[in-house]
Amino acid sequence: MKVLQDNFLRVIDYLRLSITDRCNLRCLYCMPGAGIVPSGHRDILSYEEILRVVEIAAVLGVRKVRLTGGEPLTRKNIVFLISSLKKVRGIEDLSMTTNGVLLEQYARELADAGLDRVNVSMDSCDPSTYAVITRGGDLGAVLRGLAAARSAGLRPLKINMVPIRGLNDHEIKAFAEMTFTSDDHVRFIELMPSGCLDFWDPEKYITTDEMKKIIGTIAPLTPVRVRRNGPSKYFRLKGAQGVVGFISAITHHFCGDCNRLRLTADGKLRPCLFSETEIDLRSALRNGAPDSEIERLLRLSIKVKPEGHNIEGRRAELIGKIRHRGPRPERCFPEPARRPMSKIGG
């Protein structure tokens, strides 16, 4: 079996595939209220193009594929894509990150088509707070989606929450307590200075250590190993069925374990979420490039994968600008050189 390794001896076996930059929510930290100008239908990769890339990547050593976006469930014929990806030889794990709004409608069909798991982003359990963070989202739809995913067997369900001071930080404990009554993985993600930068603020940002302190007041937290844990560090509250996880892009770098490559909806290979380096795969796909050329570009993107990101530098830069009292950082959204998360694939 082939193994893809980068210059720092990391095994790259995970492709994060954005299939659309459109989203049915407008989360405060991710997108501006007016949304973004979505790519045209011709600008994003077709399912045939996506499948060709995944087939070649699987021959090279990619074993896991996660669909993301934008909101992947807003793309038409998503069930067809899942069933086609499931048939690609070598792909052992097929998952999706979704906001869950359309999951009630799709969970059963997705599971039947071969989807292994879903991660659902849900930043509040309170309908009005949820509506504020998502600018109008319906929490009820997400909760019904979670129930549909559980009963369709898409387990363990991973629930992702981004704690933001002054908005939903009072719910950190309640989210962790969900693990007493279900086998869900509840994961807390540090608010990153990416996406909608004019929302980011050091005061809103909560470190993993602070989250752990809050959760540790419920019951003792013991580290646990979870298969395919990716960048998340997992713990179990004493007496809980499920586990809590922490994704600490800022305070605890996980670059040393990074095994991923990203493909944006418009066909750019992106070796690191936080680096602007992109390799244009779409032109090659559309100009008749043979498989060997697609393979060369995939290998190139792994060759240029940076050893680590400089998100801490970006955070310090933003804090510096905010402290200097001037207007919010000039290069905040929309920044020509920095794509919003929905354009990269979060």
Residue from 137, 163, 195, 245 in contact with ligand SAM (CB under 6 A): 195
Per-residue contact flags (x/-) with ligand SAM for residues 122 to 161, judged by CB under 6 A: --------------------------------------x-
Residue from 4, 12, 23, 318 in contact with ligand SAM (CB under 6 A): 23
Per-residue contact flags (x/-) with ligand SAM for residues 56 to 75, judged by CB under 6 A: ------------xx-x----
* Look-up of token digits 């087939």: 55
Is 181 buried (19+), middle (13-18) or exposed (0-12) by CB count in 10 A? exposed
Q: Closest residue to ligand SAM, Cβ-based?
A: 346
Q: Which is nearer to ligand SAM, 122 or 285 (CB)?
A: 122
- Report the site for ligand SAM in 161-190 (rule: CB under 6 A): 162, 189
Put residue 234 in one of left, alpha, beta given phi > 0 → left and psi -120 to 50 → alpha: beta
Q: Which is nearer to ligand SAM, 61 or 202 (CB)?
A: 202
How many Å apart are CA 240 and CA 69, to the nearest integer? 32
In 3D, which of 173, 272, 175 has the Cα closest to residue 216? 173
265: contact with ligand SAM by CB under 6 A: no
Residue from 192, 244, 265, 272 in contact with ligand SAM (CB under 6 A): 192
Q: Which is nearer to ligand SAM, 240 or 341 (CB)?
A: 341
264: contact with ligand SAM by CB under 6 A: no
Min dist. Cβ of residue 335 to ligand SAM (A):
13
30: contact with ligand SAM by CB under 6 A: yes
* Sequential DSSP letters for 112-178: HHT--EEEEE---SSHHHHHHHHTS--HHHHHHHHHHHHHTT--S-EEEE--BTTTTGGGHHHHHHG
The tokens describing 332, both together, are 């905040």
How many Å apart are CA 5 and CA 171, to the nearest integer? 40
3-state SS class at 18? strand
346: contact with ligand SAM by CB under 6 A: yes
The tokens describing 168, both together, are 């939903």
Gyration radius of the chain's alpha carbons: 19
Candidates 138-146, 192-200, 203-211, 226-234; binding stretch for ligand SAM (CB under 6 A) = 192-200
Longest dimension (CA), the chain: 59
39: contact with ligand SAM by CB under 6 A: no
3-state SS class at 216? helix
Number of residues written out for the chain? 346
Residue from 39, 267, 341, 343 in contact with ligand SAM (CB under 6 A): 341
Residue from 84, 95, 98, 168 in contact with ligand SAM (CB under 6 A): 98
The residues of the shown chain that bind ligand SAM, judged by CB under 6 A, are: 23, 29-30, 68-69, 71, 97-99, 121, 160, 162, 189, 191-192, 194-195, 341-342, 346
